[in-house]
């Protein structure tokens, strides 16, 4: 957005303002995408609270509330979904998250979740691994997985 | 040991009393010590307080620093991380123990984490709740820091000691510096000047040297002023010496004048005791070497013999009035044919001192006496006149021997028929008769008896030393007989007669006037009885003397 403005230096201020307003719906649309936390239906987890989900992804617990072990799957570190997920659930930006994991690397006990390239890959893993848990855009979800939590801003 | 201390104290006291340098240095050192100590103690307290606060602040900051990691450790119940944190905290000397709890379980516990009643005094716990790093409202654990206050205290105290020591060294250096500066700039030049002044002899012409470094400051001014004082003092001394010499010369001259003076000079006190005199005084008073007075002992009265009473009177007169008085004294020794008169003048020069002058007035006195004699003589007959008679008769009565008074006889002689001679032959004849009678009287009395012609044709004879009353009568009768003989007045002969009254002086209470009056009375009685005869006055009753008169 900034680059557009700086790239149109010859535009009048009026036009610049207009453009900003014109682009706003696009941003809204981006935000509007809905993230969901998915689990394998076989694990028997019907619903997860935001905290339960977060505790699994941050390494606090490696089990579902039911006691079954949990295997969190992260999305690519640069993906928009991953950024949104932690921003909404833990209120931490990617830098904070990196710092968090960095502190834990030397203790060796807890390591960050395994990351996959995109949502489809994540859905595949969850579909095939009963202990897996992941977050994806709602649009990527198919009936092989169960939505345990819907993350709304 | 004790005596050494005493000796040192005494030596120090002596130094303090006698040396400005020591006193000043000691004062500066003492002041620095007192100020340094009080300031250091204040600084020590404040530094210690500050250090203690800082120690606690450091701990708080330390906690803040590890808080995020602690949050994560508690959140994850990560014992390794918690232990790491605890070890890290333990590196701080003030931390005696660390305990990290999470969900009721201990994640890490290092060092001494128990608080007994005893250790509570010196130790305290800084406990901090640890919240979830992702949810500020979820408490995930608690971190307790056991603080060793003694360590903080010790650290603070050591810091304080260091700064106190620094300050003490600084104070000591300043004190030494000030002492050296005061010594160099003030006390040393002062001491130099003081020593120089102490050794200086006035009148040697020496002056204090102005120290080169102090030429323009207060010490320079002081030295200049002292030099000016010395100069003026020398001037004064010189003037005084000259004055003294001049005075001595003057005094010597004066003494010479006094010594050589013809006038006797002396000084005495209010009692008459002589203090000093000159040779003329000794000469005029005709003092023999044995009689020479002793200063401060001999009174003048002692030297004047019979005149001492009169001198005492003169002395008190002088002192009472404050005026000078003089006195003529007959100093002719008894039996000496040469008369000797002196005049003593007393001049009071204070309540207890008198100055006296003695002059030889013999010449003047003789002139005076002959003049007096002239005045007391009847020019016609050469006998005493009335004044002469009164004076001499008075003197006889005043004579110191009353016995001779009782032996006085007064003959009152009145010529009979003299008026006829005077009227018939003139005054010159009368004068010749009177001179003739005078010679008759002179022939019939002894030397020392008085013969007077008080006036006209009356004569008086005073016979002294009459032991026998009839002797007076005999003399009177002889005189009458001689007067009745014819008198040659140049070719003529005249006949006159005389009537005589005799009175004898009473043994007591008599007076010249009373004696003369009684003789006169007797003379009239003789005239009344028929002239040419002698009448004796009756002896006066002592109590009736005045009544008879």
Tell me, yes or no, whether A26 and A42 share the same domain.
Answer: no
List the single residue in B with minimal CA-CA distance to A101.
B72
Q: Are residues A27 and A73 in the same domain?
A: no
Chain B CB contacts of A110 under 8 Å are: 76, 78
CA angle centred on B214, ends B212 and B217, rounded to 5°: 145
Which residue has 């004062």 as its token pair? B27
* Radius of gyration for the alpha carbons in chain A, expressed in angstroms and rounded: 19
Same fold, B17-171 and B261-365: yes
**A90–B134 C-beta distance less than 8 A:** yes
What residues make up the domain containing A7?
2-31
Report percent pLDDT > 90 for chain B.
Answer: 16
In this prediction, residue A17 has a pLDDT band, given cuts at 50, 70 and 90, of low
Q: Where are the domains of chain B?
A: 17-171, 212-256, 261-365, 377-548
Residue B76 is nearest to which of A90, A91, A110, comparing CB atoms?
A: A110
**Are A11 and A60 found together in one domain?**
no
Residues in chain A within 8 Å Cβ distance of B134 = 54, 58, 89-92
Query: In this complex, which of B68, B76, B80 lies closest to A60 when CB atoms are compared?
Result: B76
State residue A4's pLDDT score.
Answer: 44
Does the distance separating the beta carbons of A104 and B133 come in below 8 Å? no
For domain B261-365, give its CATH number from 3.40.50.1450, 3.50.50.60, 3.30.450.20, 3.90.105.10: 3.30.450.20
CA separation for the pair B465, B24 (Å, rounded)? 105
**pLDDT tens digits, B248-289:** 999 999 888 888 888 899 999 988 899 889 888 888 888 888
Nearest to B75 among A60, A92, A109 (CB): A60
B107 touches chain A (CB under 8 A): no
Q: Taking all residues of chain A, what is their mean pLDDT, rounded to a whole number?
A: 82
Q: Are A92 and A22 part of one and the same domain?
A: no
Residue of A nearest to B133 (CA): A90
Query: Is-contact B347 B354, C-beta < 8 A?
Result: yes
Confidence of residue A3 (pLDDT cuts 50, 70, 90): very low
In B, which residues are within 8 Å of A92 by CB distance? Answer: 134
Contacts of B75 in chain A (CB under 8 A): 58, 60
Partners of A56 on chain B (C-beta within 8 Å) are none
| pLDDT band at residue B157 under the 50/70/90 scheme | confident
- Rounded to 5°, the CA angle B17-B20-B21 comes to 120
Q: Looking at the predicted structure, is the pLDDT value of residue B80 above 90?
A: no
Q: Say which residues have a Cβ less than 8 Å from residue B516's Cβ, sequence separation at least 6.
A: B393, B410, B412, B460, B503
* Interface predicted TM-score (ipTM) of this complex, two decimals: 0.73
Specify whether the backbone of B424 is left (phi greater than 0), alpha (psi in -120 to 50) or beta. Answer: alpha
State both tokens at B273. 């005791």
pLDDT digits (tens, 9 = 90+) for A41-58: 998 888 999 989 999 999
Q: Is the same domain home to A70 and A137?
A: yes
B63: tokens are 């906690």
How sure is the predictor about A22, in pLDDT bands with cuts at 50, 70 and 90? low
Q: Is residue A39 located within the same domain as residue A106?
A: yes
What secondary structure, in 3-state letters, does B64-110 show?
Answer: HHHHHHHHHHHHHCCHHHHHHHHHHHHCCCCEEEEEEEECCEEEEEE
| Chain B residue at shortest CA distance from A60 | B76
**With bands split at pLDDT 50, 70 and 90, how would you rate the model's confidence at B372?**
confident
Reported residue count of chain B is 549
Bridge partners, residue A135, by sequence: A37
The secondary structure element, H or E, covering residue B517 is helix B512-528
Contact B137, B131 (CB under 8 A): yes
The answer to whether A90 faces chain B, any CB pair under 8 Å, is yes
Looking at residue A19, its pLDDT comes to 63
Q: With cut-offs at 50, 70 and 90, classify the pLDDT of residue A12.
A: low
Beta strand B95-102 pairing with A132-137: unpaired
Closest chain A residue by Cα to residue B84: A107
Whether residue A101 is found in the same domain as residue A39: yes
- Per-residue pLDDT at B405: 54
Domain identity same for A12 and A83: no
Residue B105 backbone class (left: φ over 0; alpha: ψ -120 to 50; beta: rest)? beta
> With an 8 Å Cβ cutoff, is A7 touching chain B?
no
CATH fold of the domain at B377-548: Alpha-Beta Plaits (3.30.70)
In this predicted structure, what is the pLDDT of residue B403? 57
pTM more than 0.90: no
What would the mean pLDDT of B39-57 be, rounded to a whole number? 80
Q: How far from the centroid of its chain's Cα atoms is residue B318's Cα? A: 25
Q: Are residues A23 and A45 in the same domain?
A: no
Across the interface, do A60 and B81 touch by the CB < 8 Å criterion?
no
Give the pLDDT confidence score for residue B23 in this predicted structure. 79
> In degrees rounded to 5, what are phi and psi of residue B187?
-70, -40
Contact A88/B at CB under 8 A: no
Strand partners, A144: none
In this prediction, residues B212-226 reach a mean pLDDT of 85
DSSP string, B128-164: EEEE-SS-TT-EEEEEEEEEEHHHHHHHHHHHHHHHH
H helices of B202-353, where?
Answer: 218-260, 279-284, 300-304, 308-321
Residues A61 and A27 in one domain: no
Of A89, A90, A104, the CB nearest to B72: A104
Task: Using the predicted structure, report yes or no on whether residue A7 has a pLDDT greater than 50.
Answer: no
For residues B164 and B170, give the distance between their C-alpha atoms in angstroms, rounded to a whole number. 10
B513-540 tens-digit pLDDT = 888 999 999 999 999 988 888 998 887 7
* pLDDT over 50 at B221, yes or no: yes
Confidence class for position A71, pLDDT limits 50, 70, 90: very high
Tokens of B433: 């008769």
A14 and A69 in a common domain? no
pLDDT of residue B478: 92
Average of per-residue pLDDT across B106-110: 87
Query: Do A15 and A90 lie in a common domain?
Result: no
Q: What is the number of other CB atoms lying within 10 angstroms of the CB of residue B162?
A: 11
- B141 touches A at CB < 8 Å: no
Which CATH number fits the domain that encloses residue A78?
3.40.190.10
- Is the pLDDT score of B549 beyond 50? no
CB B125 within 8 A of CB B145: yes
* Interface test with chain A among B69, B72, B140, B141, by most A beta carbons within 10 Å: B72
Chain A residues with beta carbon closer than 8 angstroms to that of B135? 51
The secondary structure of residue B213, as a DSSP letter, is: G
Contact A58 B84 (CB under 8 A): no
Closest residue in chain A to residue B77, using alpha carbons only: A60
B186 pLDDT more than 90 = no
Q: What is the pLDDT of residue B465?
A: 80
Q: Which CATH number fits domain B17-171: 1.10.3470, 3.30.450, 3.40.30, 1.10.1670?
A: 3.30.450
- Residue in B69, B76, B135 nearest the CB of A59: B76
Chain B residues whose CB is inside 8 A of the A51 CB are 135
Please tell me which residue of chain B has the smallest CA distance to A59.
B76
| Cross-chain Cβ contact B134/A107 below 8 Å | no
Structure token pair of residue B146: 């056991």
Q: What is the pLDDT of residues B58-75, one digit of tens each?
A: 888 888 888 888 998 898
Closest CB to B80: pick one of A51, A58, A107.
A107
DSSP state, A41?
A: G
């Amino acid at each position: 957005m900034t680059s557009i403005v700086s790239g149109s230096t010859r535009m009048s201020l009026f036009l610049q303002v207009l453009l900003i307003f014109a682009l706003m719906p696009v941003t809204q649309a981006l935000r509007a995408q809905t993230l969901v936390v998915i689990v394998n239906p076989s694990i028997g987890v019907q619903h997860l609270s935001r905290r339960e989900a977060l505790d699994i992804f941050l390494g606090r617990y490696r089990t579902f509330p039911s006691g079954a072990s949990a295997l969190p799957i992260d999305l690519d570190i640069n993906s928009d979904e991953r950024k949104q997920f932690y921003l909404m659930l833990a209120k931490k930006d990617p830098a904070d998250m990196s710092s968090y994991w960095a502190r834990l690397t030397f203790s060796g006990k807890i390591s960050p979740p395994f990351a996959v390239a995109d949502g489809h890959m994540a859905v595949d893993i969850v579909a095939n691994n009963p202990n897996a848990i992941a977050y994806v855009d709602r649009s990527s979800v198919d009936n092989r997985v169960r939505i345990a939590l819907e993350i709304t801003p | 040991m004790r005596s050494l201390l005493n000796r040192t104290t005494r030596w120090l006291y002596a130094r303090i009393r006698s040396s400005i340098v020591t006193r000043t240095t000691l004062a500066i050192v003492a002041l620095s010590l007192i100020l340094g100590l009080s300031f250091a103690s204040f600084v020590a307290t404040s530094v210690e307080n500050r250090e203690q606060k800082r120690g606690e602040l450091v701990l708080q900051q330390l906690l803040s620093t590890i808080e995020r990691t602690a949050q994560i450790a508690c959140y994850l119940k990560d014992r390794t991380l918690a232990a790491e944190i605890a070890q890290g905290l333990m590196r701080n000397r003030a931390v005696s123990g660390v305990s990290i709890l999470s969900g009721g379980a201990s994640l890490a516990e290092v060092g001494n984490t128990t608080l007994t009643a005893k250790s509570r005094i010196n130790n305290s716990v800084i406990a901090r709740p640890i919240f979830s790093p992702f949810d500020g409202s979820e408490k995930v654990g608690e971190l307790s820091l056991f603080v060793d206050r003694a360590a903080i205290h010790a650290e603070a105290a050591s810091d304080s000691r260091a700064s106190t020591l620094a300050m003490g060294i600084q104070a000591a250096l300043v004190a030494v510096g000030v002492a050296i500066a005061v010594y160099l700039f003030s006390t040393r030049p002062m001491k130099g000047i003081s020593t120089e002044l102490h050794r200086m002899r006035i009148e040697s012409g020496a002056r204090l040297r102005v120290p080169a470094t102090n030429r323009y400051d207060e010490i320079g001014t002081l030295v200049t002023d002292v030099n000016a004082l010395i100069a003026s003092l020398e001037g004064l001394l010189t003037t005084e010496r000259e004055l003294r010499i001049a005075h001595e010369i003057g005094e010597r001259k004066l003494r010479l004048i006094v010594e050589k003076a013809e006038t006797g000079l002396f000084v005495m006190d209010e009692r008459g005791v002589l203090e000093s005199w000159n040779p003329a005084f000794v000469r005029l008073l005709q003092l023999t070497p044995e009689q020479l007075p002793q200063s401060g002992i001999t009174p003048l009265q002692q030297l004047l013999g019979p005149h001492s009473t009169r001198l005492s009177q003169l002395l008190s007169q002088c002192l009472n009035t404050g005026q000078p008085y003089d006195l003529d004294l007959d100093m002719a020794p008894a039996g000496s044919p040469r008369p000797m008169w002196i005049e003593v003048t007393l001049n009071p020069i204070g309540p207890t001192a008198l100055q006296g002058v003695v002059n030889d007035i013999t010449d003047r006195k003789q002139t005076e006496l002959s003049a007096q004699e002239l005045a007391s003589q009847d020019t016609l007959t050469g006998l005493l006149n009335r004044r002469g008679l009164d004076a001499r008769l008075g003197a006889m009565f005043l004579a110191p021997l009353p016995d001779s008074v009782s032996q006085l006889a007064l003959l009152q002689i009145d010529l009979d028929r003299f008026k006829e001679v005077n009227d018939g032959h003139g005054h010159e004849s009368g004068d010749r008769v009177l001179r003739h009678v005078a010679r008759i009287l002179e022939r019939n009395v002894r030397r020392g008896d008085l013969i007077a012609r008080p006036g006209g044709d009356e004569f008086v004879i005073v016979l002294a030393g009459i032991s026998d009353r009839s002797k007076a009568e005999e003399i009177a009768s002889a005189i009458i007989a001689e007067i009745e003989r014819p008198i040659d007045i140049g070719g003529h002969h005249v006949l006159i007669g005389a009537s005589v009254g005799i009175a004898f002086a009473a043994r007591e209470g008599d007076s010249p006037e009373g004696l003369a009056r009684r003789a006169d009375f007797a003379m009239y009685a003789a005239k009344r009885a028929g002239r040419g005869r002698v009448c004796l006055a009756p002896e006066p009753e002592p109590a009736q003397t005045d009544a008879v008169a």
